[in-house]
Structure 1
Amino acid sequence: MQLDYFQLIDRIVDLNLDTKTITVEAQVPAASTIFEGHFPGYPIMPGVLLTEAMAQSSGWLLLGLMKFERMPFLAMIKEAKMRGFVNPSELLTIEAKVEHEGSGFAVTSAKIRVGKDLKCNAELTFRTIPFPSPDLRGYMDAMANKIGFPMQAIING
């Protein structure tokens, strides 16, 4: 993870466009200024950043399903549940699945585990729109390459 850049996904482990699912991994950094204030003497990953990690994972899934022709933007968080603390240096496995899509919106369910322990889950709603700028589209292509997005999945799909 690169918290300073709001990049909360390190690598895509699996993307299945047929089942509309994605699995990603993210390594929580051992040290970050985030932990200095959350909380002194007992650092834990903020729930809002865990929610963002689920949203980013869902976003990559939606980008794949839309063949990078539209951009998902987080519109609503529903049923978010924090079930346990996430500590520095832990490896997160994040899974997301599309529950509904259509009319310019998509709903995903997502969850984060550390090992076999469920740490949080949420239902997330996204608005999907055309990319607002060519620069953003270019940035997303570069990020896709960096995190191992399987572009052949959208070319062959």
Structure 2
Amino acid sequence: MIIIRKRIVFSRNDKTKLCIILLSLIVFIASLTQTAFTYDDYDGVKTHSSISLLIMGGIVVVGGGLLEWFIWLANPLYLFGLFYFYTNNRKCIYFLVSASILSLSFTTWNEILAAENGRLATIKSLELGYWLWVISILVSTIAIAIFKIRHKVDK
């Protein structure tokens, strides 16, 4: 019986790509452990955790939160961008730039939908979870753009 050992060899480009993806995902996961933002509702100051926004954000459109859902779309765009980067597809930069724009656009908001009946609440502050989320998307977008310019590995 012959046992053939196959050694997986990663090129320098592959190692760089994996480092970019892992660093970005680590920051993204760290953001999920933090508070995303606080807001003033009719019965006092309330907070939203990042993990709850990630989990519930996809169905917020059912409760009338169309604009909030658009911001949440930055998450799948970001993940598709990382996947396309890993597979050397040039579409990755379009997904990541779109995710960056959507995630940063939330800084211009003054109010957020607080209830399904259409009640709005004033956003009091953006917290660490939000900023880590934005940083994870921006870091990957910038690093991948630089990588693409330097290595020209598009299909």
Q: Which has the larger radius of gyration?
A: 2
Would the TM-score normalized by the shorter structure come out above 0.5?
no
* Higher helix fraction (1 or 2): 2
* Structure with higher RCO (Cα < 8 A, 6+ apart): 2
| TM-score normalised according to structure 1 size | 0.27
